[in-house]
Structure 1
């Protein structure tokens, strides 16, 4: 039996990061668990402090059910160091190395437009980027597709 994994990002602004990662990964808001119709209804069942809000978290999922679930949770402390684990966004496609690199460059530009920042470019291989709250991730060519 294999285990399923979720990835969790700590943040200060869950809606901001949720919007960025939905754009970056093509993810959607995960529906609330049954029998709840909304995340607010689900959230209300917990005995949480009054200043906790359903807007302090977001749950995203791959609409095709392939990628891991992404939880985005507000925390009080700021980010203080480089991530020890990061997400790699792999850009699919076939063609020459130059054509594949152009798709990676185009994706990095798209993610800058969505609020990301390029931290380093390893030309021909990958971009190291940061999301709007400074969480590092990479953009690289993925497996060739037909």
Structure 2
């Protein structure tokens, strides 16, 4: 059996990035682990450093259970180097190359309105973008 993976993004503002990635991926807030009713209740079991709160993290999941979970955690240091691993947002749908490219462009424009920015466009293939904190990702067509 293959291993399952979760992805974790370090950040300065977990709430900001959680809202962006929920929009980008169609994810939802992941419920707290059983038997806890809230994330606050779950976090209370840990000895968190003074000043840290539930707002310093966000846990997201694919509502269909297909994609990896995404944890977004506040860290004290700023992002400095280029990502060595990035997310590819795959736009669904089939059709001609022109139709697929139109969907990629429309999705990248939607993500700009959600707070992302375009870094580079590879016409007809994919768009390299950054989330509100500069984490790079690509928007491309889903595999056929």
Whole-Å separation in 2 of the counterparts to 1:128 and 1:122: 8
Q: Where in structure 2 are the equivalents of 1:1-146 lying within 5 Å?
A: 1-144=1-144
The alpha-carbon deviation at position 47 of structure 1 amounts to: 1.1
Shift of 1:143: 2.6
Question: Do the aligned residues in 2 keep the contact of 1:93 with 1:143 (CA within 8 Å)?
Answer: no
Deviation at 1:19, TM superposition (A): 0.2
Q: What's the RMSD between the two structures over aligned residues? A: 0.6
Deviation at 1:25, TM superposition (A): 0.1
Task: Give me the whole-angstrom Cα distance separating, in 1, the residues matched to 2:142 and 2:48.
Answer: 42
1-structure distance, mates of 2:49, 2:130:
31
**Distance (Å, rounded) in 1 between the aligned partners of 2:96 and 2:69:** 33
Shift of 1:46: 0.6
**Partners of 2:45 and 2:66 in 1: how far apart?**
29
* Separation in 2, partners of 1:79, 1:142: 29
Q: Which stretches in structure 2 are left out of the alignment for 5+ residues?
A: none
Corresponding residue SS for 1:82:
coil
Provide the C-alpha distance between the structure 1 equivalents of 2:103 and 2:2, rounded to a whole number of angstroms. 33
- Point out 4+ residue stretches in structure 1 off by more than 2 angstroms: none
TM-score between both structures, scaled by the size of structure 2? 0.98
Residue 49 (structure 1) shift: 1.5
Deviation string 1:48-72 (CA, Å, 9 cap, x unpaired) is 1221111000000000000000000
